[in-house]
Amino acid sequence: MEATSDGDRPWQSYHTVYTNAKAGMEGVDKEKVQKIIYELSEGSKYFENEKRKEAIIKQKIDNLRTHHAKLTEKEITHFQRIADNRILELEASRDLSKIWLHIDMDAFYAAVATLENPSLKGKPLAVGSMSMICTASYEARKYGVRAAMPGFIACKLCPDLIFVPTNFEKYTYYSELTRNVFSKYDPDFIATSLDEAYLNITDTCSQRGIGCEEVAVELRNTIFQETGLTCSVGVAPNRMLAKVCSDINKPNGQFILPNDYNAVMTFISSLPIRKVGGIGKVSEQILRDVLGISTCADMLQKGAVLYALFHQCSTDFFLSVGLGLGGTDTPQQKMRKSISNERTFSATNDESILFQKLADIAETLSKDMQKECLLGRTLTLKLKTASFEVRTRATTLQKFVNSKEDILIYASKLLRAELPLSLRLMGLRMSHLDDDDKHSPLDPMQKTLTSFLTIGNVAPIADKSADFDASDIQLSVRDYVAVSYGNHAESLNECPKTRNKYESIEKISDVSSLFDHKGGVVASSSSSSRIIVEPYWVGGYICSQCGIEVPASFTEERRQHLDYHLADMLHKEECRSLLQSFPHKESGRKKQKYIPIDAFFVKGQKRF
């Protein structure tokens, strides 16, 4: 992509991930592929954005080169001492006692499609669509077609390419079959995706008195018998090396790296850094162009300069790669740190379309979170403009949420602040995650319905009979909103941990009966715990709160309108709550000014 001297072959400097060799692409005419990709991309907005990104990386490389050139002898000696000490420490941590096996299903999605439809066997196949390919069969890879490549480019590379849509239900089914087999060799196996896993086979080898090679063969045969699918396996003393090894004899093969220091060091000495997980296109380019590093062994030789130019954690990683070290212990169950959903669409600046899409994404995210019983506190809106510029905007909430309504209220606010804008992608991410159980039923961060009812202004038509106990219905504001959407409560029930919380909720079939004549909120409670509901559409098109008329076809406008009233109602209750918490001051003071609803969404604002 950078300015090139060979003006008649500009594609040679267009670096894309698609031109990197992946298993099954060894015999590909790289230049031909590069030329086609270049010609199809040139002049597009995507291309322009790639150029922009490339320029940033080039600038970074130039800065690092300058920094490198300025290093004094004294500094290099200093950093060499640090690197030498660190290498000794890392070496001391080397553990050659474990046998790790990495298993990777061969072109998994494409293989499942072929299994279901044998007529596809031997044909170039792509799983995905014209906009993006998830996996390509080995026959397609011969043409340079690969995962994460746009379908229209793949079509040019391979005109006979057959497209098959994704089917995650089937992938999950076959993945489960493979996992049943994995658990027989290591009950604590680590699944990294539907088609990949790490197995610690140390115990299996010693208990059965067989070698790791035999285990690998047996495992692959069993997988094939159980699923009809082939896989590739790598065996090594740690997970980093096992992963590299499984890629060597793909497809349907295996590679064993013995648990021997010399074998590991010989293997690693000529290994290109790009083969190592965690080193991608950018890291490879920086290490190569700044320091001339291309193999793992180079990392050790350049340890001092690495420490001088990069952060310690990065350099520690580089040195451990140079020593062929990797994870050897089975890690504790890794907690998910975030959960997200995003969608690409034809670029548009039509706000109604954008808000509708945002609502769809919020719904998907909410369902995903509820399935995993997760609550989140930081919501990030991701936007990709028509010119491929990516922006993220985040907000941290005062409470943990996972309902579509909560997510949408805050997401809409974030989006509104960015408009007008022509977008081609929107995404929502929830981070700052916590387990649902921790917040139920008495999470102090969440407003309970009990407190809601005792605020005073939402007149509780509480049944004061002996069997009513407000603590029985410790529902948060989130719950209150969720319950008010009848079908939404059902989706919450998907989560077994939360199901009990909602079992006592009576489904409200006649919504209108729960509103007073002014359209206000009425709460009632009895042993069956009747719940507050939100505004509704009188006659199907008149808002019960403000009387505005919005036809049924204006789905998004109606949704936003109801969201506004809900947020407004909650907000007013908060204000009243605040006023009531200082009753002794109220009489002597001017009545507190109504706080604008926007104040609730202001970044970082403390909410009472």
Q: Which residues bind DNA (CB under 7 A)?
A: 16-17, 37, 40-41, 44, 46-47, 53, 56-57, 108, 130-132, 147-148, 150-153, 155, 193, 195-196, 276-284, 311, 313-314, 334, 336-344, 346, 378, 380, 390-396, 424-425, 427, 429, 432, 603-604
**Closer residue to DNA (CB): 382 or 565:** 382
**Closer residue to DNA (CB): 17 or 599:** 17
**Shortest separation between residue 203's beta carbon and DNA, angstroms:** 25
**Closer residue to DNA (CB): 173 or 261:** 173
Count the Cβ atoms, other than its own, within 10 Å of residue 384.
18
Q: Are 254 and 235 in contact (CB under 8 A)?
A: yes
Dmax over CA atoms of the chain, in Å, equals: 89
Strands 423-431, 338-348: parallel, antiparallel or unpaired by DSSP?
antiparallel
In degrees and rounded to multiples of 5, residue 6 shows phi and psi of -85, 85
Q: b/e string for 74-83 if b means 16 or more Cβ within 10 A?
A: eeeeebeeeb
Single-letter amino acid, residue 103: I
**Shortest separation between residue 281's beta carbon and DNA, angstroms:** 5
**Shortest separation between residue 366's beta carbon and DNA, angstroms:** 13
**Shortest separation between residue 121's beta carbon and DNA, angstroms:** 21
In a 3-state reduction of DSSP, which class is residue 168?
helix
Count the Cβ atoms, other than its own, within 10 Å of residue 60.
15
Q: Is the dihedral of CA 365, 367, 371, 374 positive or negative?
A: positive
**Exposed (0-12), middle (13-18) or buried (19+): which is 442, by Cβ within 10 Å?**
exposed
Q: Are 426 and 342 in contact (CB under 8 A)?
A: yes
Ordered DSSP codes for 358-407: HHHHHHHHHHHHHHTTEEEEEEEEEEEETT--EEEEEEEEEEEE--HHHH
**Closer residue to DNA (CB): 417 or 459:** 417
Single-letter amino acid, residue 377: R
**What CA–CA distances, in Å, run from 244 to 268, 314, 425?**
10, 20, 34
**Closer residue to DNA (CB): 376 or 460:** 376
* Residue 583 preceded by cis peptide, ω within 30: no
**Closer residue to DNA (CB): 104 or 534:** 104
Structure tokens at 2: 């950078």
Q: Are 231 and 255 in contact (CB under 8 A)?
A: no
**Shortest separation between residue 422's beta carbon and DNA, angstroms:** 12
Structure tokens at 313: 């954690």
Structure tokens at 370: 């509820």
Structure tokens at 445: 């961060």
Respond yes or no: is residue 196 known to be catalytic.
yes
Element at 101 (helix H, strand E): strand 100-105
**Closer residue to DNA (CB): 334 or 591:** 334
Q: Are 458 and 521 in contact (CB under 8 A)?
A: yes
Q: Please report where in the chains the tokens 């408009």 appear, as a residue.
A: 419
**Shortest separation between residue 120's beta carbon and DNA, angstroms:** 19
Catalytic residue, candidates 139, 196, 363, 405: 196
**Closer residue to DNA (CB): 242 or 575:** 242
Closest CA to 535 of 507, 512, 555, 551: 512
**Shortest separation between residue 249's beta carbon and DNA, angstroms:** 16
The Cα 383–Cα 420 span in angstroms is 12
**Closer residue to DNA (CB): 121 or 603:** 603
Structure tokens at 320: 């451990």
**Shortest separation between residue 267's beta carbon and DNA, angstroms:** 18
The dihedral over CA atoms of 103, 107, 108, 112, expressed in degrees to the nearest 10, equals -140
**Shortest separation between residue 17's beta carbon and DNA, angstroms:** 7
Structure tokens at 353: 């379309």
Residues involved in catalysis: 196
